[in-house]
Amino acid sequence: MPALRDSRKRILVTGGAGFLGSHLVDRLVGEGHDVICADNLYTGAKRNIEHLHANPRFEFLRHDVCNPLKIEVDEIYNLACPASPVHYQRNPVLTTKTSVMGALNMLGLAKRLRCQIFQASTSEVYGDPEQHPQREDYWGHVNPIGARACYDEGKRCAETLFFDYHRQHGVAIKVARIFNTYGPRMHPMDGRVVSNFIVQALLGEDLTVYGDGAQTRSFCYAGDLIEGFARLMAAPAPVTGPVNLGNPDEFTVLELAEQVLKMTGSKARIRHLPLPADDPRQRRPDISLARRELGWEPEVPLAEGLSRTIAYFRSLV
C-alpha cells in the first residue's frame, strides 16, 4: 500500500464543485491540505461545496479550464468535464474542448510548476467493448462520429496528451479510468442510470429501462473511488496508469431497477424504451492492476451504497 502524504500541500482540483470533485475536495481538505476548487459550474453545484466556504484551507475559483490558469500549486487533479450523456451531449463541442483544451492547459501548468497531475479519464474510452472485462491494454471499440464521441474521443485525446507530455516533457502524470460511480451529490437530472432510477422511484414515476435491461454495468461507490484516486496519486513514480478504478461486481440494468424499487418501497413500474445509439452492452473493469499496484479494491456493497444515495435524494425530492 502506498505511503500516505506526510506534508501539507496546495492542491488544485478542477471540476471541484461536481459530484466526484466535491468528494475529492472534502478528502483533501480533511487531510489538512490547502485546496483550490476551480469550476465553471456548468454541471457542478455550489451546494456541493457550500459547507467548506468557512474553512480557511478551502478556496473556490470560478474558472473554465478551456482558458489558461495562472496559479501556484504543488499538485493538480483534473476532473473538469461534463460526465453524463445528458450533459455532455447538450453541447458536444464544449465537451470536446473541455477535455482537450482543459488537458492542454492543465498539463502546461503542471509542466511550468514541475508538479504531478492527475487525469480523471473514463471507461468510455473502451466504447462498446469487444473485450470483457476490460483491461487497461485494450484499445477500445469507439464510434468516432457518434453522438457520444464528444466525450469518448475527447477523453481518449486527453489521455494521448497526458502521455505525450510525460514522454516529451517529463511531466509526472497519473491517469485513472473511472467506471460507473454513484453516491450522494449526483446531479438529480444527469441522466445516469442510478440517479434516474432513484429519482423516478421517489417521485412514483415509471423507471425507464433502455432495451431489455440485459446490458450490464458495475457500480462503484464514490467514497471507494476517491480512495483509489488518493492511492494512485501517492503511488511511486513508475506508476502512471492508466489504471481502471471501478467495481468488478456486475449487474444488469434491470436488476438495478428492481433493487431500487425494493429499497425505496416505490409502487412505480418499469417501462422499456429503445436502446440509445452506441450504448455499451457490457461494462465491467478488470482491476487486477489497481489491486497489485495500489492495494485497492471497492469495499462498499451495492445495497449499502444505494441506501446512502437514496437518503441523499430523499433530502432533495
| Tens digit of each residue's pLDDT (9 = 90 or more) over 224-266 | 999 999 999 999 989 999 999 999 999 999 999 999 999 999 9
Instruction: Judge whether 266 and 204 are in contact, CB under 8 Å.
Output: yes
- For residue 31, the domain's CATH number is 3.40.50.720
Is there a domain that residue 254 lies in? no
Whether residue 201 lies inside any domain: the answer is no
Judge whether residue 317 has pLDDT over 90.
no
| Residue at grid coordinates 424499487 | 261
- Segment 161-189 shows an average pLDDT of 96
Average pLDDT over residues 88-109: 94
pLDDT at residue number 5:
45
Quick check: is 253 in a domain?
no
Question: For 30-63, how does the pLDDT look when each residue is reduced to its tens digit (9 = 90+)?
Answer: 999 999 999 999 999 999 999 999 999 999 999 9
Identify which of 147, 42, 26, 1 has the alpha carbon closest to the alpha carbon of residue 85: 147
Q: Which of 151, 165, 182, 221 is catalytic?
A: 151
Is the pLDDT assigned to residue 1 strictly greater than 70?
A: no
Residue 62 belongs to a domain: yes
The distance in angstroms from the start CA to the end CA of the chain is 40
Per-residue pLDDT band for 278 (boundaries 50, 70, 90) equals low
pTM, whole model, 2 decimals?
Answer: 0.93
Region class of 295: left (phi > 0), else alpha (psi between -120 and 50), else beta: left
Tell the residue number behind the cell numbers 468488478, with chain if given. Answer: 248
- Three-class DSSP category at 45: coil
Average pLDDT value for the chain: 93
pLDDT at 84 exceeding the cut of 80: no
Total domains in the chain come to 1
* Cell numbers standing for residue 97: 474542448
The verdict on residue 243 lying in a domain is yes
312: annotated active-site residue: no
